């Protein structure tokens, strides 16, 4: 008898949580009464792995370039602020691209750019990692992942990929300069 009562309570709880979960996952209709989607029907995910070797210990390298808003020095950008969450912690949001930190280890973090109204979602993610190679040498690894299916054709996709690779390789080179005690040269005028 007691066992059946426990099963009924468990079933009731699952039903309630299932209804709440389903309601929480159902998107709200837009002003026209229909549901808008930023999903792309046939995504083509691109991964761009990049790396550079730094002649410094991993602790020194990460201390110098690994802060979530250190991007202003090595990208370089005029400003980075933490908009919400604890700085340098999972869930923090930086003003650069409104990027949300979604994962973190001792010497790495991964971020994403959120869905934006009226724009296809490209699942953009970036990971910056410092990996010790020897007591005095560190490998910096920057990996980008995103969907480029919304670009016109293969030529446009390849141009976009190479442009991103060049931009982030400059950033990696700037990180190396900073971590090894140098100064990043001023950005070229646009």
- CATH code for the structural domain at 41-179: 3.30.530.20
Domain ranges in the chain?
A: 41-179
* Token output for 114: 């959120």
Summarize pLDDT for 158-171 with one digit per residue, the tens: 999 999 999 999 99
- Higher pLDDT, residue 20 or 64: 64
Q: Which of 16-30, 34-48, 173-187 has the lowest mean pLDDT?
A: 16-30
- Among 21-25, 149-153, 158-162, 180-184, which stretch is predicted with the lowest mean pLDDT? 21-25
- Residue 143, both tokens: 């990996």
How many angstroms separate the CA atoms of 161 and 143, rounded?
Answer: 12
Average pLDDT over residues 91-110: 97
State the DSSP code for 82.
E
Residue 101, SS3 per DSSP: strand
């Amino acid at each position: 008898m007691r066992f059946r009562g426990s099963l009924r309570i468990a079933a009731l709880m699952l039903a309630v949580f299932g209804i709440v979960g389903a309601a929480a996952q159902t998107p709200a209709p837009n002003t026209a009464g229909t549901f808008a989607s930023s999903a792309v029907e046939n995504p083509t995910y691109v991964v761009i792995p990049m790396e550079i070797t730094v002649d410094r210990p991993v602790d020194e390298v990460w201390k110098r370039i690994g802060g979530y808003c250190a991007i202003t020095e090595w990208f370089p950008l005029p400003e980075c602020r933490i908009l919400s969450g604890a700085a340098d912690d999972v869930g923090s949001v930086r003003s650069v691209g409104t990027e949300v930190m979604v994962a973190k280890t001792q010497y790495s973090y991964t971020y994403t750019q959120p869905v934006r109204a009226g724009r296809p979602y490209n699942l953009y993610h970036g990971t910056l990692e410092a990996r010790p190679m020897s007591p005095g040498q560190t490998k910096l690894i920057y990996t980008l992942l995103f969907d480029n299916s919304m670009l016109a054709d293969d030529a446009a996709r390849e141009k976009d990929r190479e442009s991103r690779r060049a931009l982030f390789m400059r950033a990696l080179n700037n990180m190396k300069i900073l971590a090894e005690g140098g100064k990043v040269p001023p950005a070229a005028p646009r």
